[in-house]
Amino acid sequence: MSDTSSGPRTLEVSLGSRSYPIHIGPGLLGQPDALAPWLAGRQVMIVTNEVVAPLYLERCRASLPAGVEVRELVLPDGEATKTLASVEKIWDALLEAGFNRRCTLVALGGGVIGDMVGFAAACYQRGVAFIQVPTTLLSQVDSSVGGKTGVNHPLGKNMIGAFWQPRAVLIDTDTLATLPPRELSAGLAEVIKYGLIRDVDFLAWLEREMAALRDLAPAAMARAIERGCAIKAEIVAEDETEQGVRALLNLGHTFGHAIEAHQGYGVWLHGEAVGAGMLMAAELSARLGWLGDAEVARARAIIEAAGLPLAAPADRSVEDFLARMRLDKKNIDSRLRLVLLRALGDACVHDETPPALLEALIETFPRVG
């Protein structure tokens, strides 16, 4: 990958009449009328959380045109709040404001806010417009693109939801300046995922640029976000509702979601669980004879370089893991379907893993207290 400037660039998620742009660049939030082209009408509800609101709510308001009716809802922060009760608060606010089908919701925040606001939009009066304004790396490269919305259930992550595409995604890379290092590492897990599943050249670029990415070097970060979004946009355009190739975007997620659900949402960040899950998937791929030791070591090295865990929680039995994994949304007819690696940059969905092999991996995988 060649170097590019950190200036604005635009991608498109191609879905026919529901296609939408992804705008990426510094200083986008706060530009006058930046959100105007994608408003469905004159009623706008900005939904954010207690952490993001003091930092970016006024800037978001400044991106709206004069003359619109703007309401705001500030929710608590954290994965533990990603519940139907929180979504009901959004619906309550919309109804109390008298908002109609021509309203537009703006999701200002990370993946939790984006997923909940999208789900609220999908259901309110049977579907209203929404715009994604992601402020974390994970939401910028992954959850804001593709239309997956929803909330968690105590038995599984993202089990209640809908496919509902935004009208636009506005990624202001300046918002990463306020992102805590742990959250940055969590977002890098999803960036690494794209290289592992689809683009080994991008993976090599990430290996070279990881130090710059962790230092928030503008050109490197803009390039990482752009390539990640481009890969996701390609896959979503090919398979919007995850009937086939879109499942590849879940590399590490079956293991990772099992970690999150068992530990309690928010104890491990989503990206941290996915990082450990990707290493588990790489090691299982090696046990199936698809990856060599050098390829597994390469996957482990880049996950470690991003500051992500290389071990699973210590208080998990094999059966704990398997019980959570059996609830995964990719499973069909009780068959456990895992996203694995035939090679670095070449992922597949595999439903014929010998149970003893999977159990042995879980049993011997490193643990951390």
Per-residue pLDDT tens, the chain, 369 aa: give them: 334 455 689 999 999 999 999 999 999 999 999 999 999 999 999 999 999 999 999 999 999 999 999 999 999 999 999 999 999 999 999 999 999 999 999 999 999 999 999 999 999 999 999 999 999 999 999 999 999 999 999 888 899 999 999 999 999 999 999 999 999 999 999 999 999 999 999 999 999 999 999 999 999 999 999 999 999 999 999 999 999 999 999 999 999 988 988 787 778 999 999 999 999 999 999 999 999 999 999 999 999 999 999 999 988 789 989 988 888 767 666 688 999 999 999 999 999 999 999 999 999 999 987
Close Cβ partners of 279 (under 8 Å, ≥ 6 residues apart): 252, 299, 300, 303, 310
d(CA 302, CA 290): 19
Query: What pTM was estimated for this model as a whole?
Result: 0.94
Residues taking part in catalysis: 126, 148, 190, 232, 242, 246, 250, 253, 257, 270
Q: What are phi and psi of 218, to 5 degrees?
A: -55, -50
Strand, helix or coil for residue 268: strand
Q: What is the pLDDT of residue 3?
A: 41
Query: Is 51 in contact with 17 (CB distance < 8 Å)?
Result: no
CB-based contact 134:109 (threshold 8 Å):
yes
47 neighbors 107 (Cβ within 8 angstroms)? yes
Three-state secondary structure along 250-305? HCCHHHHHHHHHHHCECCECHHHHHHHHHHHHHHHHHHCCCCCHHHHHHHHHHHHH
CATH class, 9-178 region: alpha beta
Backbone angles phi, psi at 3, to 5 degrees: -70, 145
Helices marked H in 156-217? 181-198, 200-214
- How is domain 190-368 classified at the CATH fold level? Dehydroquinate synthase-like, alpha domain (1.20.1090)
CA–CA gap between residue 278 and residue 284 (Å, rounded):
10
Predicted pLDDT of residue 289: 98
Q: Where are the domains of the chain?
A: 9-178, 190-368
**Coil, strand or helix at 249:** helix
- Please, how many CA atoms are within 13 Å of residue 231, restricted to the half-sphere of its CB? 26
Question: Could you give the 3-state DSSP secondary structure of residue 331?
Answer: coil
Judged by DSSP in three states, 46 sits in strand
- Predicted local confidence at residue 1, as pLDDT: 36
Strand 346-350, strand 367-368: pairing:
unpaired
pLDDT at 111: 96
